[in-house]
Structure 1
Amino acid sequence: MTLPLIGSTTMKPLLPALLLGLAGFSTQAAELRFVEQDAPADTRLWLEQQLGVTLSDAPAYQRQGKLGHYLHYRQQLNGAPIAGLMAAVSLDEQGRPWRLYHNTRLMQAQATPCDEASRAGVDAYTATLDGAVWQFAGSDEAQPWYWQDGDTLTAAWRLLAVESQPGNSKSSHWQLFVTCDGSALLGRTLQEANTRAEAVPLAGEAATVQARIFALDPRTQLQDGNLLWRHDLVLDNGAYRTAPLTVQKVDDTYQLSGPRARVVDGTAPETAPFSSPDADGFQLDHQQPAFLDINGYYHLDLAQRHVESLGYPTLMGGPLAIDTDAGEQDNSLYDPFLRRLEIGRIGVPDAEDPMVIWHEFGHAVQHHILPDMGEEGDWGAIGEGFSDYLAASWRQRSPEARQFEPFMVFNWDARISGRTPRQLDDLRARYHPGFLYPAHLTINGSNGDQLWGTPLFTALRQAVEQYGEVARDEFDTLLIESHFGLGPQVRMPQLARVTVDTANRLYPDRSYGKLLEQAFRHHALLPTPIAARLADDSYLLPGEKKSLAIELTNQSGRPLTVADASLLPTKGLMGDGHWQGELNADGTARWTLPLEAASNLTCGEAVTLPLQFQLTLPSPTERQTRLDLQLPIGEPLWQRAIGQGGQIKDAVSDERHGLSRFTLTLPESKARIDSGFVVALDLEHSKLEQLEIWLTSPYGTRISLWNKGYASHTRLKGEFPRELVPFESLDKLHGEPLAGRWLLEINDTSAGDTGQLRNWRVAQQVGTRCDKDEALPNTGIIPLEQDEGGGGTASPLLLLLALWPRLWRRSVSRR
């Protein structure tokens, strides 16, 4: 079985569940921790004490960035590394730790590591492999490791191997973990990325030629939204630009090779790299196949120069290879094991689109910073989103691109073959912590790649508007720097925290951190260290003075001290309450806040309750947090109903589905469905991706809530449309009667898996009550009780009936 390579522009990788099945690694979340610490005498020993584990004597690798030095260690036991477990520490220029990232675990081994006496087991295992498919080093290269399967550690030999299946032009680079005696394969994972230069410049001397290239894709260069690629397309000279190109002159032949890039023929079909005996031979048009080599080489060289100019002169480790005729597929990718960009030529030749080259180079940047990043956690979508950003950031440096399809990715390549172009303005995308985000998948209603790329690009455009062109290089720099010191299993909220913190450390006099924070918060990507919500049924009437309860939750993952919590000045509300206290990790507390509402506030609306928190946290970015709550003016009137759950019927076969129906009824009212309508589900199923879920209104309108959506878990819990994005918009229901019988249908489309609906509900606010209950008068009321003699009493009902209008007079706002 061959896995698709990391960084594919269009190819979908295997689902994370399968990747985890191959790896066998625990899915326990990695931890991000900011610290304040003087420089330790022994960094590794200090890190071991912080984590309570044993680490490798020397770093597995280390990097130098603008903010300092980054050391990456492997967790080990009995002197042998544990597959998949690592710890990274970020040190400033004085050697002081300021951030940790790790996925280490407290582990115990059942056996000692494999010893030299069992090394023959490696040969015994490799003898069972097909030599036509597998290439591997000798047994003397195998190393004793531990293989992790849940909480169990098994001693193993680690063997590096390359798998080349017949009919597949791509090879897979594996780490094989074999039992000490060679009797079984425990598991396998992809190798770490190669960061050493392999494509060295050819012998000869450097030379400069003038080359004809696409500085921008033809649509953008010509500002023509109707222009599409075709085989016989002849482009006007205005689509091209002439640019100087550094090449290598070898034996009177000019070849596309240099200190930053080299054109190679790395995959089938066999296509010799372009060369010319004439310095003027690089003036080709796009219909000539060699143009792709020239254009691809130019942009890869340009991208390398760009990263060097940002202050990372040695990051990429020398020239990268590029093959612009890589296989019979409409797809491009970066091969992190061969350090090679492989550019597809089917359909639109991808090398004609400069954004494709810059995008794949973005993957190369990430893998050179973090060779062990893998695709667990959210790295898949993060990698695509960052690479989309880098390509779009480069493109935005051109005035033509800033005004023509500015948010589209691959303006030239993605306009054909039926694909929907990715965008960097997906403002409806929202992160859901219950999902993992691999590359290229639509999750919770939006493409996961766009979910990460959009806030980066949004903040960049705002930064340029505020600070001018200088912001472009600075933004690229801080986003590259944000990758240092991380590792496998990163989630988007973790990288969002690091990115904001990096912006504030690198550019304290700019508002980049604030812009990124706003963009991330819009997409629910940046949870605050502390969460606050009004207690249920909280509201104020106009002119009312009352204390409200605010429920606080520690989301920082560590004990948290709230030095001060206060209400910021806000129009229409008066209050001067403060709160201080300690919160345990994941702990909660209640803050009672006295408030008075202005008498001129409008009933039925909501006012913002701005809360400021001063926190004692190591990251300067997180020490001050503002949270805005929405306080209803007037008592909200709700119409809601909770439906019973039950077993979800299993399908009999792929043709005979299992359909389960559940109903609930909302009482009679005149209310109509509006934008405040929500439907909440809580269900479990072993294969959520095989379920179809529909909601049918009392009026008969049927809405698809879930259509075999991707899920990395077995529980679907949340509110549509606030937390979960329905497959079809609930707007179709607007204006229909709210009251009546609601039907929920769950269709299991594949046999063999089970599930249960725990509960579900529909709800909507239908009005607001705005007056206080009027107190009963104390005078003239006869008590409703028997007298001591046990005889009858004079009826008080006549008096109560007389008071009825006064007792129940209300001012009610209806929606």
Structure 2
Amino acid sequence: MKLRLGLLTICYSVSCLVSAGEWDYFDTNITINSVGDIQDFIAQHYPIEKSKLRYQTKSLIEQHYNFDIWQNGEYQHQKTIVVSIDNQHRIRRIFHSLDNSVLINGRPTTALELEYPRQIEADYPPELSQGKLVTASTQLFDPDLRTAQQLPAPENGWRQQDDYPLPIVYQTKDIELLQVGEEYFLRNHHLVEVNVKALLGKQTPDGPVVREQGNFLPNKMISRFSDLADLAKIELNDERFAPLMAFYHLNHSIEYSKSLGYPLFNQPVKFDARGLVTNNSTYYKGPNTIVFGIGGPSPDAIDADVILHELAHGIHYQIVPDWGYGHSGAIGEGFADYWAGSYSYRVQYLDPARRGQEFEIDTVFNWDGVFGPRRTTRSLWNQRARYFEHGHYRAHESVGGELGDELWSSALFQALKAAVQQYGDGTDKVFREFDTIVLQSMYGLGRGLKMHNLAESTLYAATRLYPEKDYAQILRRQFSHHDLLKSPFVVRLDQRYIDSQTPLTIALETTGRPTLVSGDWLLDTNLVLTMNQQLEHRLEISSPLPSNLVCGQAFSSQLDVRYRFQSWLSEQRWQDEKKIIVGVPKLTTPLVSPNYQLPDASSDAQGRFTPGRMIFSHNLTDRDLIIDKRFTVYLDIEHPSMSDLSITLTSPQGTKVTLWDHQSSLQSGFNGYFTVEHDQPLASLEQQMGWGRWRLEIIDQHEGHQGTLRAWGVGPFSDYQCSHNEQPSLTSPSSGGSSNGLSLLILLSIFMARIISSRSTYLEPTKRREK
């Protein structure tokens, strides 16, 4: 849907590396009075030789100064430092991206669109000074015809607009446009319709100008209307209808963002609603121009979602003019989908007749995406998507089997829905506040931003703008669901079920930056350790269990840590609590010990991703077995990166529970238990019949590591072993249960292709708009 920066298209066929930026926060009164003061400060505290102000922006809460930097005598295209200063001229935070975030074959790349932005060759309507602005009525779709009429999507895509089965119903809208003499043109202070003929660009500062005619539609004219009656009756089959749709919705969204306090565009946005012969639309950063495609069964500009999606790319480029590198591709697509979805949701919510019955609000491109041989809508409710910091989040590409665009948009949009549910009062107030947070969150960032950088900034914006409301908590829940928040530390432990005589050992690890830590470790509210030291990477601590613990009962392990990355940065606080259970379940049924090598995720030469998938089964034969709290699952997996894995268990009754959802592990693997009594995911199994076939499914959603399922088991347990840790014996199946694990040769030959090589329907990559 958007213009990809030149460097990104190269990454399909060669090896790329993505690194990250970081936030620094300040609570001291470091006062800044000039750009020179900022440059002096960053020269003293950051490893750079020279800095030069690239641009300055102003948001609702801060001023933001973005600097180009030099190292080793050379300008660093991908690196930046962004300093945010409050109204009292104090430094509040700094975003520093000091590593090259995208490498191709070990070398940093250059985004030509950032360094040498292209311009357009185009026809224009008369200037504003040649006439006057008037307000007139016209008929449009808002947001699109199918949404307005709540018509379910066709089973097979419509091949042309005439296939639409319902009568065409328009909505009357007012627009402000230019009158010159007796004619009217789509131009005002915010927008101007143009006829794009070519792109003009350079490869180097001193290089020749290259004219690219590309896929621009030839022999077309700028829209003009002979009188207001002509304007009022334009219909869908008129070539001027798409420009009218684009003009109205672009203008409305620009005015909306201004009303939130963000006058983003200091020049009119240019648009060509019938500009490309392809089934795609693009925002061009240099000329601030949107060009819509007409190559599909329905022109792109007939759908307000497409229109607002493209405008949103212009919005993030106005907020962060050096938007590029890092995860900017997928983030830009996700924000653009959110911006379109938020508008459609707001329009329907404000209609009392539709409030609470909004149509397909979790989908974007509701009109355009159902035309053609395959559906190209995108989801705003992809609950499967998880964040992998070191993944390559380019536009329209999947990471871990899920579309990166949908990862970011789903987190934002589902948080918006939760906010409306909590604070909605029938007006647009919640939408305005939430959209303000989303816009504010992008200020202060720069080149090389990654999803966790923006997630952190979004929480910062919510807290600063609306401290009296729960917006930050709502966002945190959604970000946590998708693993979008990067904690400064991670606590790893081998076992949650331990005997009382074994000391509890945990490891506190940094997730990137060395830091000075101080804090306390408590077991069952008993202080067992106080720490105060420099933590470079990993601190392993151990303590005997308190003597007053009860066998079979849970107790808490709590860490309360204060940390400071540098002496001149603010001290921050981090807390962690984990539940530990005294005792190891004594499983009464034998374990299955397949010792089976798990398939790794993979991508083919075309970049199509296939998760590694394996299903194992185990039969429990006791027909009188009713699942109660004394029911357990045992796993013994060897894997160098447990965060690659999701593991689910399906009961004979068809209930699927998640045992492992991409968590990390202290060791290279996991060896432990889950019980109905102490593990919430298993609670839904209680009171079910336990006999029959149990299915264990292990899915690897990240390439590069392979592991082994050494053993697993499921069944009732008689008691907790609390005096010493006695591992279950690996025996052959007995009368209590039987195994038909797919590690057996005959069944392996039958199911291998179906289970390992192919993908189950519910885990195929989400169908997406590739235009």
Q: TM-score, normalised by structure 2?
A: 0.69
Match of residue 283 from structure 2: 334
Structure 2 residue 31 is the aligned partner of structure 1 residue 33 = no
User: Against the structure 1 CA distance between its residues 326 and 566, is the aligned structure 2 distance closer, same or farther, given a 3 Å change threshold?
Assistant: farther
Match of residue 66 from structure 2: 72
The correspondence of residues 691-730 of structure 1 with structure 2, limited to 5 A, is: none
Structure number with greater CO (CA < 8 Å, separation at least 6) is 2
Structure 2 residue 318 is the aligned partner of structure 1 residue 368 = yes
The separation in 2 between residues aligned to 1:151 and 1:434, in whole angstroms, is: 15
The separation in 2 between residues aligned to 1:531 and 1:65, in whole angstroms, is: 33
The separation in 2 between residues aligned to 1:501 and 1:620, in whole angstroms, is: 16
User: Against the structure 1 CA distance between its residues 624 and 566, is the aligned structure 2 distance closer, same or farther, given a 3 Å change threshold?
Assistant: farther
Match of residue 688 from structure 2: none
User: Against the structure 1 CA distance between its residues 675 and 303, is the aligned structure 2 distance closer, same or farther, given a 3 Å change threshold?
Assistant: farther
Q: Deviations over 1:576-605 (max 9, x none)?
A: 656443342433242648457875x8x5x9
Match of residue 430 from structure 1: 386
Q: Which structure: larger Rg?
A: 1
Helix, strand or coil: the match of 1:102?
A: strand
One-letter amino acid of the counterpart of residue 209, structure 1:
A
Alpha-carbon RMSD across the aligned residues, in angstroms, is 5.0
Deviation for aligned residue 1:620 = 12
The separation in 2 between residues aligned to 1:102 and 1:384, in whole angstroms, is: 23
Match of residue 300 from structure 1: 250
Match of residue 471 from structure 1: 430
The separation in 2 between residues aligned to 1:738 and 1:225, in whole angstroms, is: 35
Match of residue 521 from structure 1: 480
Match of residue 382 from structure 1: 331
Structure 2 residues not aligned, in runs of 5+ = 197-215, 606-611, 626-630, 645-667, 671-690, 725-735, 739-771
Match of residue 684 from structure 2: none
Match of residue 191 from structure 1: 116
CA contact (8 A) 2:300 2:368 kept: yes
User: Against the structure 1 CA distance between its residues 238 and 558, is the aligned structure 2 distance closer, same or farther, given a 3 Å change threshold?
Assistant: farther
Match of residue 41 from structure 2: 46
Instruction: Identify the match of residue 94 of structure 1 among 67, 71, 88.
Output: 88
One-letter amino acid of the counterpart of residue 362, structure 1:
A
Q: Deviations over 1:605-638 (max 9, x none)?
A: 9777666555557999994444343434531579
Instruction: Identify the match of residue 530 of structure 1 among 460, 485, 489.
Output: 489
Helix, strand or coil: the match of 2:195?
A: coil
Deviation for aligned residue 1:765 = 5.0
Deviation for aligned residue 1:16 = 3.3
The separation in 2 between residues aligned to 1:17 and 1:220, in whole angstroms, is: 36
Structure 2 residue 452 is the aligned partner of structure 1 residue 504 = no
CA contact (8 A) 2:316 2:332 kept: yes
The correspondence of residues 622-701 of structure 1 with structure 2, limited to 5 A, is: 623-632=572-581, 634-636=583-585
CA contact (8 A) 1:35 1:97 kept: yes
Match of residue 169 from structure 2: 239
The correspondence of residues 476-491 of structure 1 with structure 2, limited to 5 A, is: 476-491=435-450
The separation in 1 between residues aligned to 2:180 and 2:554, in whole angstroms, is: 74
CA contact (8 A) 1:564 1:615 kept: no
User: Against the structure 1 CA distance between its residues 249 and 773, is the aligned structure 2 distance closer, same or farther, given a 3 Å change threshold?
Assistant: closer
Deviation for aligned residue 1:770 = 3.1
Structure 2 residue 129 is the aligned partner of structure 1 residue 208 = no
The separation in 1 between residues aligned to 2:169 and 2:570, in whole angstroms, is: 46
Match of residue 59 from structure 1: 53
Q: Which moved more, 1:516-525 or 1:465-474?
A: 465-474
User: Against the structure 1 CA distance between its residues 198 and 361, is the aligned structure 2 distance closer, same or farther, given a 3 Å change threshold?
Assistant: farther
User: Against the structure 1 CA distance between its residues 431 and 500, is the aligned structure 2 distance closer, same or farther, given a 3 Å change threshold?
Assistant: same
CA contact (8 A) 2:497 2:580 kept: yes
Match of residue 541 from structure 2: 590
CA contact (8 A) 1:88 1:102 kept: yes
User: Against the structure 1 CA distance between its residues 248 and 677, is the aligned structure 2 distance closer, same or farther, given a 3 Å change threshold?
Assistant: farther
CA contact (8 A) 1:566 1:578 kept: yes
CA contact (8 A) 1:553 1:588 kept: yes
User: Against the structure 1 CA distance between its residues 592 and 769, is the aligned structure 2 distance closer, same or farther, given a 3 Å change threshold?
Assistant: farther
CA contact (8 A) 1:464 1:470 kept: no
The separation in 1 between residues aligned to 2:387 and 2:285, in whole angstroms, is: 28
The separation in 2 between residues aligned to 1:292 and 1:531, in whole angstroms, is: 52
User: Against the structure 1 CA distance between its residues 424 and 153, is the aligned structure 2 distance closer, same or farther, given a 3 Å change threshold?
Assistant: closer
User: Against the structure 1 CA distance between its residues 641 and 529, is the aligned structure 2 distance closer, same or farther, given a 3 Å change threshold?
Assistant: farther
Q: Which moved more, 1:620-629 or 1:419-428?
A: 620-629
Match of residue 497 from structure 2: 539
Deviation for aligned residue 1:814 = 10
Q: Deviations over 1:466-517 (max 9, x none)?
A: 2224221111111111112212222211211111112112221121111111
Instruction: Identify the match of residue 402 of structure 2 among 425, 438, 446.
Output: 446
Helix, strand or coil: the match of 1:285?
A: coil
Q: Deviations over 1:654-694 (max 9, x none)?
A: 9xxxxxx9x9x9999999999876866559xxxx9xxxxxx
One-letter amino acid of the counterpart of residue 64, structure 2:
Y
Structure 2 residue 265 is the aligned partner of structure 1 residue 316 = yes
CA contact (8 A) 1:532 1:551 kept: yes
Deviation for aligned residue 1:518 = 1.1
CA contact (8 A) 2:19 2:390 kept: no
The correspondence of residues 335-350 of structure 1 with structure 2, limited to 5 A, is: 335-345=284-294, 346-350=296-300
Match of residue 5 from structure 1: 3
User: Against the structure 1 CA distance between its residues 76 and 226, is the aligned structure 2 distance closer, same or farther, given a 3 Å change threshold?
Assistant: closer
Aligned-pair identity (%)? 25
CA contact (8 A) 2:411 2:482 kept: yes
The separation in 2 between residues aligned to 1:606 and 1:764, in whole angstroms, is: 23
The separation in 1 between residues aligned to 2:99 and 2:698, in whole angstroms, is: 46
User: Against the structure 1 CA distance between its residues 152 and 435, is the aligned structure 2 distance closer, same or farther, given a 3 Å change threshold?
Assistant: closer
The separation in 2 between residues aligned to 1:744 and 1:77, in whole angstroms, is: 43
Match of residue 230 from structure 2: 281
Deviation for aligned residue 1:271 = 2.1
Helix, strand or coil: the match of 2:78?
A: strand
Instruction: Identify the match of residue 581 of structure 1 among 527, 532, 554.
Output: 532
CA contact (8 A) 2:514 2:565 kept: no
User: Against the structure 1 CA distance between its residues 19 and 453, is the aligned structure 2 distance closer, same or farther, given a 3 Å change threshold?
Assistant: farther
User: Against the structure 1 CA distance between its residues 104 and 610, is the aligned structure 2 distance closer, same or farther, given a 3 Å change threshold?
Assistant: closer
The separation in 2 between residues aligned to 1:62 and 1:640, in whole angstroms, is: 63
CA contact (8 A) 1:214 1:240 kept: yes
CA contact (8 A) 2:520 2:527 kept: no
Helix, strand or coil: the match of 1:325?
A: strand
Helix, strand or coil: the match of 1:431?
A: coil
Deviation for aligned residue 1:256 = 0.3
CA contact (8 A) 1:634 1:768 kept: no
CA contact (8 A) 1:7 1:360 kept: no
The separation in 1 between residues aligned to 2:462 and 2:542, in whole angstroms, is: 33
Helix, strand or coil: the match of 1:326?
A: strand
The separation in 2 between residues aligned to 1:244 and 1:392, in whole angstroms, is: 22
The separation in 2 between residues aligned to 1:235 and 1:670, in whole angstroms, is: 55
Q: Deviations over 1:532-575 (max 9, x none)?
A: 23x3234257xx698633322223624142344557xxxxx665
Match of residue 695 from structure 1: none
The separation in 1 between residues aligned to 2:565 and 2:472, in whole angstroms, is: 17
One-letter amino acid of the counterpart of residue 407, structure 1:
D
CA contact (8 A) 1:460 1:475 kept: yes
Deviation for aligned residue 1:379 = 1.1
Match of residue 409 from structure 1: 364
Helix, strand or coil: the match of 1:397?
A: helix
